[in-house]
Amino acid sequence: MITVSKKLMLIVTILVVLVTSGAWQGTSTAHAQAADGLTAPLAPWLTWSGPAEQTKNLQMSISGDFLEISGQVFSAAEKFAGEVPAEIWDFYSNVSLYQSGWKSDNAYEDATGVHRVFYHDAGYYLSIDFVHCADDAQSYCVTVWLSTPAASGTLHAAQGAPTTEINPSAVFYKKAPLDKSTGINPASAFLSWSSYAGTLKYSYCITENLACVKSDPNWTGTYDKTSITITNLNPNKTYHWNVKAITCTTCNPKVFTLADGGVWWMFKTSLSLIKISGNVGTSYAELSWFDGVNKTTSADSSGNYILYVTYGWTGTVTPSKTGFAFNPVSRSYTNVIANQIGRNYLATASLTISGNAGVSGATLTYDDGGIHTVTADSSGNYVLPVSDGWTGSVTPTKVGYTFSPTVRNYSAVADNKIGQNYTATIRKMTISGDAGAGNVKLTWVDGGVTKSVLSASDGSYSLQVPYNWAGKITPSKVGVTAFSPAYRTYGGVTVNKTAQNYQANIRANYNSIGAWDGTVVESGQNTGVGGNVNSTLNVVKLGDTAGNAQSLSVLAFDTTSLPDTAVILSVRLKLTLQSVVGVNPLNTHGTLSIDIKKPFFGATSSLEADDFNATPGGDGIGWLSKTPVGSVYDGIFNATAFPFINKTGMTQLRLGFMVNNNNNGVADYMAFYSGDATTLAFQPVLQVTYYIP
């Protein structure tokens, strides 16, 4: 038999589950009163009065249509304090009433209580009502209402939109629990399904054995409800369930659609809940325990309490109330598999120590015939009870905080102690590493405030965040093209973080040195040796002369400032076009190739004729793109050029087309601004991107 608790008794889902679990399948014979050939089922052990005339409005469809119909009501004289006896639930179960031809039509809850409506094929309605007694709201009364023939009622169409938002779909399906789910809580099994277009009412069935047949009395109507919470299934059992959407209630037989095309789903319940009850010795004391999560309940005005734990639970139940001490301090349980009743405590008024812990949620621990703890409230306030004459110490703790004082000591306490305050300071966690370069700005947000630090000249940095801080730290610096990673994310810092390093990809720009750059012209067509040299013009020329001699250019860059430990990632050359004379050699002279030499071509850093054919350090290690951005052309280098970038002196480049000349007797060349250009932005630039490991 199922005992329905006072707190849960009025939940309609409990009523339904008692049907489906078999707990409502009573065998008593109904005591009857005549009513047009049918009888009102009156539990024979109750004292009934009536009949009295009563009109009810019965919901007829999901859209809100209702039937106004008169009937006779019978009232039981008995009142039930706290809960209705299980035998009454059994007597008015779906299965018991089905034996007399009554089928479940609806089950609902309103402000007055719980109502279960049944329909008889002879054309009558029956309502079993478990309601708050009119003269005692803390107790429950039972009434039985039997209608006149349904044909005598008045059907009222719904006014306006339904009270429940309905978003029907063209497919009818179950949602939860998923088929073949396990571990479903037998005291809180949530079933849900989709809405379905054209539905007048929903009905569901759940059984411990095989799927329900069409005439199974366990089918229970819910009208517009598309979910139900069942609270009293049997533990460790397999259940079958399905839902039907009834689309014609006046048809005989009714027209309906089963969810998922009639496929029944199954789930298995977990082990049952076990009740622990008793008296805590004083009103409204709080009892706390751990059962997967921290749980609490309160005793009533008489000190009585009930709490529930999972089957096989092991743990401790601890009572508490400001100004009281309890004996025993707590009760321990091991492998609980049966209800525990009469688990009482003795409560004795005690002295108190109170104050502010400095932060909410702080735990204050002390020993008074056993280890006790209290938790500061949301404002940090606390009150803890101690025995008269107690001597001991109180220690505040909270993860991530330090306290001042760290402990308070007491001796022979004879009166209440107030103002026993602490100062709580959140611990600071350090995040440190290498930013990849000096003077890198590292930015983060703490409590809505943006904060930043600069790395030292060697790239090292250190910053502090509050305990359990979560957020991201982003490095930035002018001249750094990118950081790797771009930022670091933290999800609750509870320990110091070291080696939080970044790679800073630094771009250094070097302008060509006008005194050492210029043009070297071949001594004659296809001689392969230099002739005329010019290092004073504000341009360098690349192509050929009217005599079909090739023109090469040499560019010089002082790259001494590159750090000795720099790891080069890329090298680019930026050339600004001044003019094109004759045919553009990019279209006729092949690729514009780039050679490199460390520190310079030829015998000296000055521009000389020998630079024309001097052996390079890297031959053809770069090339000039044919597509400019505006008038700026991009020289691209492969990685074989990187070792020839001079970190201690000069780096020289030699540029020339792969085809010496087009043999047309006309000067064809491109003129790019040289290091002698008066406008700095026009001068050739060597861009070196690197990082410091």
Profile the chain (693 residues) by mean pLDDT over runs of 10 residues: 28 32 34 60 92 89 80 91 72 83 80 84 90 82 92 78 47 92 83 88 85 77 82 80 85 83 90 84 93 92 89 91 86 86 87 94 93 92 90 96 97 94 96 96 96 96 96 95 96 95 95 96 95 95 96 97 95 97 96 96 93 95 95 96 96 96 95 96 97 91
Tell me whether domains 174-269 and 273-349 share a fold: yes
- pLDDT in the model for residue 161: 42
What are the b/e assignments for 624-662, b being 16+ CB within 10 Å?
bbeeeeeeebbbebeeebbebbbbeebbbbbbbbeebbb
User: 351-426 domain in CATH 2.60.40.10?
Assistant: yes
Cross-strand bridge partners of residue 333:
315
Q: What is the pLDDT of residue 449?
A: 96
| Phi (first) and psi of residue 64, to 5 degrees | 105, 5
> Residue 196 carries which DSSP code?
B
Place of tokens 């861009």: 687
Query: In this structure, which topology does domain 174-269 adopt according to CATH?
Result: Immunoglobulin-like (2.60.40)
**Which tokens belong to 362?**
């702080």
Residue spans per domain, the chain: 12-156, 174-269, 273-349, 351-426, 428-501, 509-691
DSSP H or E stretch at residue 428? strand 428-434
Q: According to the model, what pLDDT value does residue 169 have? A: 59
Q: Which two tokens stand for residue 507?
A: 């771009």
* HSE of 110, CA atoms in CB hemisphere, 13 A: 5
Write the CATH number of the domain with boundaries 428-501. 2.60.40.1120
Q: Using the 8-state DSSP alphabet, how is residue 5 labeled?
A: P
Question: Which pLDDT score is estimated for 232?
Answer: 65
Handedness of CA 451, 457, 459, 461 (dihedral sign): negative
Burial class (CB in 10 A: 0-12, 13-18, 19+), 487: middle
Predicted pLDDT of residue 266: 93
CATH class of 273-349: mainly beta
Strand partners, 424: 403
Per-residue pLDDT at 189: 85
What is the reported pTM? 0.46
